[in-house]
Amino acid sequence: MSLNKDESLEYALTTTLNVLRKKFNSQISPYNLSSEQYAVMRLVDEIGEITPTKIAELLKRDKATITRIINSLEKKGFINKKYINSKSYYLLLTQEGEINLKLADKVAVEFQNKIKSILSEEEFKCLLEKLQKIRNNF
């Protein structure tokens, strides 16, 4: 059995994610960030000293992708590495990183408010719950 695009959850999730990511990326690009970089910086800010391994675990991404994002953020001067030993390190935001993150946070709040304006409060909460349930079961 095959599904057409109107019946396919994969199609709905992929195209919705692509639309949202493209729009969010265009809105935070003035702060020299992508959505993936923003997600990493948001975790560094929320959790504090965090390792790349923990970031990969939380974002459900492979360590190589997270390392690439970290290297890019470090090159931009948005994060610093605080070495624990010769192989392990924590990440910390720089002052410039904090400034750009706060600016991008404003965009993220507006972005979420736009989505909330499309859905009722109950639908929004339900959407978050259902997405978490799916994530937790895969």
pLDDT by residue for the chain (138 residues), tens digit each?
677 777 888 899 999 999 999 999 999 999 999 999 999 999 999 998 899 999 999 999 999 999 999 999 999 999 999 999 988 999 999 999 999 999 999 999 999 999 999 999 999 999 999 999 998 998
41 is a domain residue: yes
Please name the residues in contact with 42: beta carbons below 8 A apart, sequence gap of 6 or more: 101, 105
6 is a domain residue: no
The CA distance from 78 to 99, in Å, is: 9
pLDDT for the residue numbered 98:
97
18 is a domain residue: no
Number of CB atoms found within 10 A of residue 62's CB = 10
φ and ψ at 21, to 5 degrees? -65, -45
Nearest of 31, 5, 17 to residue 134 by alpha carbon? 17
91 is a domain residue: yes
pLDDT for the residue numbered 22:
96
Report the CATH number that the domain containing residue 41 is assigned in CATH.
1.10.10.10
Specify the pTM: 0.89
19 is a domain residue: no
